[in-house]
Every structure is written in C-alpha cells, then in structure tokens.
Structure 1
C-alpha cells in the first residue's frame, strides 16, 4: 500500500510538473539517461530487438500491457519493476524515482511516436 501511494504521489507530481512547467520537467527528468543506460540496448528507438512486434510504440504498449488492467503509465512502471518473459526486472537495480522517470519517458516517447 505504501509503495502504491509513493508511485501515485510521484505520478501526480510528474504530471503536474510536466504540464505546469514543461521546460523544467525536461531539465529535471533523468528518463532519457536511464533509458539509454538500461533499456536502449534492447529497445533502441522504441523498437525491440528480441521480439520485434513488442515495441514501445503506443499501439504495441496498449496491446501487450493490457493484461495489467490499469493506465499505460502504471503498466509501464509495473513492467519496468517486474519484467516479463525476456525482459528482466529492474526493481532491484533502479530506485522508484528512476523507474518513474524512465516510465514517464517511455510513455511520452510512445505518445510522440518515438
């Protein structure tokens, strides 16, 4: 429950920061750096070198993360934390804040079409 509240608080803060101060959000977000260091080797440019159809494009995320029965950002956070199939979990490698940053980055890039 505490973890869920932390994630919810961070998501609300990120949402408010992104839409209230977009330039500041871009400056403070580490999502791109975290993605580059941890995710880009398999998901370069939003693709997927292991399972070609499971990209990070909006349509694919909607399809393959639908089993989490939650909004896209929460589903991405869950996937990053816990992994699935060939994707390893990052909950012991990244902090909750880093996971939120990279999930927000992936969500934003998916919305923009990578």
Structure 2
C-alpha cells in the first residue's frame, strides 16, 4: 500500500512541477547565470553555503536526482523551485532561461568551472 501511495505522489509531483522540455543553450545560459546567479555562485562557488557549490562532486552529493549520470533535469528543478536559501526562479525568468542556465551549470561543472 505504501508503495502505491508513494508512486501516486511521485506521479502527481512530476505532473505539477513539470516544465516544458527545452534543450538548453549553454551560451545563452552563461548570460542568464551572469545576470541572475553569479552574485551567489561566481565560479561555481556558493557565497551562502560554502559546502553546496556547483562543482561536480557537490552536485552529485546534494542535488536530488543528479547522480553520476549528471541529470540536467535535476538542475532545472533546483533553479525553478529553489531550496533552502536559494530562491525559486520559476516565474522570475522564462522556462527557456531556466533550461539554458541549467545547461550552462552542467557544462561548467563537468569542466571544473574553468571560467
């Protein structure tokens, strides 16, 4: 019974929080990041919570559903919904901008944030 309820809740959450799928544009995402995210996350760091950076290992550790597959949807969810000190950006920037910045963060984290 518990498994059925859990599955139903997972489906409902997916439907409620689902965003239209966009293939993120890394170059556009860099612009979105610079304008909206860099104040707290310059160079992949975190000015508010130093342990929760945008570095690859940290994303794998604390970002739900990111894992070793580096699921960009996990970044999209985090940007859209926020968590803890991070605000939600859904409604503040477009869904496409959220997908773009997620693509940029994924790309940079996989490169080790060289910029």
TM-score range, shorter chain: 0.7 to 0.9
- Report the CA distance between 1:72 and its aligned residue: 2.5
Q: Which residue of 2 aligns with 1:46?
A: 44
Unmatched 5+ residue regions in structure 2?
A: 1-14
Unmatched 5+ residue regions in structure 1?
A: 15-24
Distance 1:5 1:42, change over 3 A: closer
Distance 1:4 1:112, change over 3 A: same
Are the counterparts in 2 of residues 68 and 75 from structure 1 also a CA contact under 8 Å? yes
Counterpart Cα distance in 1 of 2:18 and 2:38: 27
Cα RMSD between the aligned structures? 2.2
Answer with 1 or 2: which has the greater Rg: 2
Counterpart Cα distance in 2 of 1:56 and 1:2: 26
Higher relative contact order (CA 8 A, sep 6+): 2
Counterpart Cα distance in 1 of 2:53 and 2:19: 29
TM-score, normalising length from structure 1?
A: 0.75
How many residues were matched structurally? 97
Q: Which residue of 2 aligns with 1:83?
A: 82
Distance 1:79 1:5, change over 3 A: closer
Q: Which residue of 2 aligns with 1:6?
A: 20
For the residue of structure 1 that corresponds to 2:53, the secondary structure is: coil
- Report the CA distance between 1:57 and its aligned residue: 0.4
For the residue of structure 1 that corresponds to 2:20, the secondary structure is: helix
Q: Which residue of 2 aligns with 1:56?
A: 54
Distance 1:80 1:45, change over 3 A: same
Q: Which residue of 2 aligns with 1:105?
A: 104
